[in-house]
Structure 1
Amino acid sequence: MSSTEQPRGPVDSSRIPRYAGPATFARLPRLDEVGGRADVAVVGVPFDSGVSYRPGARFGGNAIREASRLLRPYNPAQDASPFALAQVADAGDIAANPFHIDEAVDTIEAAADDLLGTGARLMTLGGDHTIALPLLRAVARKHGPVALLHFDAHLDTWDTYFGAAYTHGTPFRRAVEEGILDTEALSHVGTRGPLYGKKDLDDDTKMGFGIVTSADVMRRGVDEITDQLRQRVGDRPLYISVDIDVLDPAHAPGTGTPEAGGLTSRELLEIVRGLASCRLVSADVVEVAPAYDHAEITSVAASHTAYELTTIMSRQIAEARDPGAGAL
């Protein structure tokens, strides 16, 4: 979008009820309705063939879109109107083969390449965490090795499951092996629960990951943790990956591998908002499985998380075009 064009925003909910019409993210226009180009493309990846326990995240993207009908155009927490600062559009779904994981990974990577090639940043709605690997490949092809903040109950740096290299528990080991992550700027946030053995932590450390557990957030507080994460990332291009199971099951029951003792939705949102000064180049929210959700609790939390991430990207895009416009 040029500096003289005005973004096309969401449907006016004072004229058309929120429950009416197609469920695009935040009731934003489709990508084809804005000429096929957007500053931030919200894209779904309905794929969950990489899960190791409960399936259903293939329906997560559309569940998040439905929950996002309640999002409004002004974000008071960041004092910004993200959809007026930059063109944000719903790019629909990347259709990937549910019967062949390797082929699906290649399809997702190619589609992400195409979207990034238009100049857009990606806000991806999963899908299971397998999809983070092809997304990171595409982002690193554009920006070089990226910093990663990985919000999750689990490490996702295991080697294989049943001999399969590409699963929702392995994407970040593969990413380190492929050299697409900046190993000086990696951190898990919100991890907790039992592991297969202490070697899991040893291997993770060797890959360069720092760990902020959910107990760390509880004991040290959001502000201190966020400051630590900002320092770790510095001014590097940053990718944020949010597995919704980073939240306690009380806040996100609709996910495939729940673990007790997680973050509250308030803690997650405050940490994300605190990263607004970091150079966010793309992000994902994954592992929403609506079949296990109650009253859309999980989908609502996921939609608000995606909204905060989108707001950060929109502000930074506006600031790059017109210093001061994004008020970072």
Structure 2
Amino acid sequence: MCTLNYQNDNSLFSNAFGFLRFPLEFDPYSSSSEWVITGVPFDMATSGRAGSRFGPTAIRQASLNLAWEHFRWPWDFNVREQLHVIDCGDVVYKSGDIQDFIKSLKNHAERLLMSKKKMLSLGGDHYITLPILRAYAKIFGKMAMIHFDAHADYYDDNGKYDHGVVMLHAINEELIDPMHSIQIGIRTEYKKHFGFTVLDVEYVNDTNIDIIINKIKSVVRSFPIYLTFDIDCLDPAIAPGTGTPVIGGLTSYRVLKLIRGFQNLNIIGIDLVEVAPAYDCAQITALAAATLGLEMLYTQVKSKKS
């Protein structure tokens, strides 16, 4: 009798069930996991090119390129041995029903948080961040935020259900504290900044990494931090598979250096959004997102040990 163990598959083409082949647990609330991967296949709030509902699947598939490594350079340990992570699959909601989507995602997040889990969510357009923040705020109160993006996402002339108003809703609902929140890589119009510290793309590209990391730490301090990463923060030469690309962005190398500097920050939740595989080339956008997610988990091991 043959017993298949997909978690021991080192190929780059098979058994792409969970992110990085982390164990699948469809009842994550009663598991002993520390972090839970959740796919959020939603793009009804997209203002540009749709298709990010397919992002979670694309990111999981691209993560096979990383799953075979015992540890990712330059780290000197295996994240699987240091952090208990599971993949619980995708949030299920009634097709075309935004209210049901909001309710389903918020309830899922609340149940995970009440079970003492932390979330790494794979979008989906950036609107998915809002229901998650509402759940987090019920547990942690007003949070700090680190927001990577090409767009500020507080455009008050957009519709209520639009991925370009997420930060405005989060501020108005007092889910985040803008005075202890920071936006990184912004390179589109923003008339106001609502108290956010904004590190635009020119500053981030031209300033020493250590200076930027120290600036981020001085803003967020020891507050509970929610980290949201819109893949269009990266230059579309590096990450073309997204709905609203803006040239002149950050390189994946520079972003990785920044994320590795987030050790010892009190990060309580993470999402990666706006991967739209229909516009991708050779999976490079999905691979970037998968790699960033893995790096974020490595920083959490370091934070746990400190």
Q: TM-score range by the shorter chain?
A: over 0.9
Matches within 5 A, 1:1-328: 11-14=7-10, 17-32=11-26, 36-71=31-66, 72-161=69-158, 164-193=159-188, 195=189, 200-202=190-192, 204=193, 207-316=194-303, 319=304, 326=305, 328=306
> Contact (CA 8 Å) 1:47, 1:98: kept in 2 or not?
no
Encode CA deviations 1:89-145: one digit per residue, 9 max, x unaligned: 001001234423233222211111112222110000000000111111111211111
In 2, Cα distance between equivalents of 1:165 and 1:33:
32
**SS of match in other structure, 1:309:** helix
**How far, CA to CA, are the matches of 1:218 and 1:315 in structure 2?**
26
The answer to whether the Cα contact below 8 Å between 1:10 and 1:73 also exists between their aligned partners in 2 is no
Cα distance, 1:59 vs structure 2? 0.2
Displacement, 1:33? 8.4
Q: Render the CA deviation track for 1:244-271: whole Å, top value 9, x for unaligned.
A: 0000000100000000100001111111
Residues 18, 70 of structure 1: 8 Å contact kept: yes
Contact 2:256 2:295 in 1 (8 A): yes
- Length, aligned pairs only: 299
- 1:323 corresponding residue in structure 2: none
SS at match of 1:122: strand
Give unmatched runs, 5+ long, in structure 1: 1-8, 320-325
- Rounded Cα–Cα distance in structure 2 between residues aligned with 1:190 and 1:174: 21
SS of 2:181's equivalent in the other structure is strand
Q: Hey, what's the Cα distance between the residues in 1 that align with 2:161 and 2:112? A: 23
SS in 2 for 1:124: strand
Measure, in 2, the Cα distance between the counterparts of 1:30 and 1:102.
Answer: 27
Other-structure match for 1:322: none
Provide the TM-score with structure 2 as the length reference. 0.92
Q: Secondary structure at the match of 1:201?
A: coil
Q: Displacement of 1:31 after TM fit? A: 1.7
- TM-superposed CA distance for 1:308, in Å, is 1.1
Maintained 8 Å contact 2:264/2:302:
no
Residue identity opposite 1:136 in structure 2: L
Residues 247 and 264 in structure 1, CA contact (< 8 A), matched pair in contact too? yes
User: Could you give the per-residue CA deviations for residues 181-225 of structure 1, whole angstroms, max 9, x where no partner exists?
Assistant: 0232111100103x2xxxx332x2xx2111111111121132211
- One-letter amino acid matched to 1:153: A
Kept after mapping to 2: 8 A contact 1:150/1:240: yes
Listed as ranges, the gaps of 5+ residues in structure 2 are none
Query: Kindly tell me: are residues 10 and 213 of structure 1, through their superposed partners in 2, closer, same or farther at Cα, counting changes over 3 Å?
Result: farther
CA contact (8 A) 1:160 1:167 kept: no
Structure 2 SS opposite 1:44: strand
1:235 CA displacement: 0.7
* Greater Cα shift, 151-160 or 285-294: 151-160
- Aligned-residue identity in percent: 34
Q: Distance in 2 between matches of 1:61 and 1:73?
A: 23
